[in-house]
A and B are shown apart, each in its own frame.
Chain A
Amino acid sequence: MKFIKNHLMFILPLMAILLGIEFYLVFDRTTDSYEKGLKEGYTMLVVTKKPVTLQKLKQLNPHIATLEAIKRDQIVSEVAKGVSKESRKEILAALPYFYNVGLDSYLGTAALEKIKKDLEKDATIKRVETFGSSYSSAYRLFAFIKFLLKVFIGFMGIVSLFLIIKQMEIWKYAHRERMQVMEIFGAPLMLRAGVLFKVAIFDAFIATLLTSAVFLYVKFVWAAQSGIDLMMQKQDELFKMTDMAILLGVALLLVIMAVYTVVFSSKGVQE
Chain B
Amino acid sequence: MSNVISAKNLTLAYDNGRKEIIKNASFNIKKGDFVFITGPSGSGKSTLLKSLYGQLKPKEGNLVVGGRDLANIGSRQLQELRTHMGIIFQDYKLINEWTVAKNVVLPLMIAGYSLDVQETQAHRLLKHVKLSEHADKYPLELSGGEQQRVGVARALAKNPVVILADEPTGNLDDYSSNVIWDLMENACQQLETTVLVVTHKIPTIFSLPYRHFIIESKGVYEVH
Contacts and interface: CB of A to CB of B under 8 A. Distances in A.
Interface in A170-197: 177-178, 181-188, 191
Contacts of A181: 93-95, 106
Contacts of B109: 187, 191
A271 B14 contact: yes
A188 B15 CA distance: 27
Contacts of A270: 55-57
A187 B14 CA distance: 25
B138 to A, nearest CB: 13
B197 interface: no
B99 to A, nearest CB: 14
B107 A185 contact: yes
Given A178-B95, A178-B97, A184 B110 contact: no
Interface residues of A, number: 15
B92 to A, nearest CB: 10
Contact of B82 (A184, A191, A269, A271): A184
A187 B108 CA distance: 10
A268 interface: yes
B55 A191 contact: no
B53 interface: yes
B215 interface: no
Contacts of A186: 78-83, 85, 107, 110
Interface string B65-89: 0000000000000111111010100
Given A188-B79, A271-B14, A182 B106 contact: yes
Contacts of A184: 53, 55, 82, 87, 93
Nearest to B97: A178
Interface in A257-271: 268-271
Contacts of B53: 184
A192 to B, nearest CB: 9
Nearest to A175: B97
A185 to B, nearest CB: 6
B55 A268 contact: yes
Interface string B110-133: 100000000000000000000000
A183 B95 CA distance: 12
Contact of B110 (A177, A185, A268): A185
Interface in A63-118: none
A271 B97 CA distance: 27
A187 B111 CA distance: 8
Interface string B10-42: 000011000000000000000000000000000
A183 B107 CA distance: 11
A66 B14 CA distance: 79
Interface in A184-220: 184-188, 191
A177 to B, nearest CB: 8
Nearest to B87: A184
B207 to A, nearest CB: 29
A186 B57 CA distance: 17
A187 B56 contact: no
A177 B55 CA distance: 15
A270 B110 CA distance: 22
B55 A187 contact: no
Contacts of B78: 186
Nearest to B160: A185
> By CB atoms of chain B within 10 A, which of A187, A188, A270, A271 has the most?
A271
B162 to A, nearest CB: 13
A186 B55 CA distance: 12
B87 A191 contact: no
Would you list the 10 A-B pairs with minimal beta carbon distance, nearest first? A186-B82, A186-B83, A187-B110, A186-B79, A178-B95, A271-B14, A181-B93, A185-B107, A185-B106, A271-B56
Given A187-B110, A270-B56, 18 more contacts: A182-B110, A184-B82, A185-B83, A185-B106, A185-B107, A185-B110, A185-B154, A186-B83, A186-B85, A186-B110, A187-B79, A187-B106, A188-B79, A188-B110, A191-B110, A268-B55, A269-B55, A271-B55
8 contacts: A177-B93, A178-B95, A186-B83, A187-B106, A188-B110, A269-B55, A270-B55, A271-B15
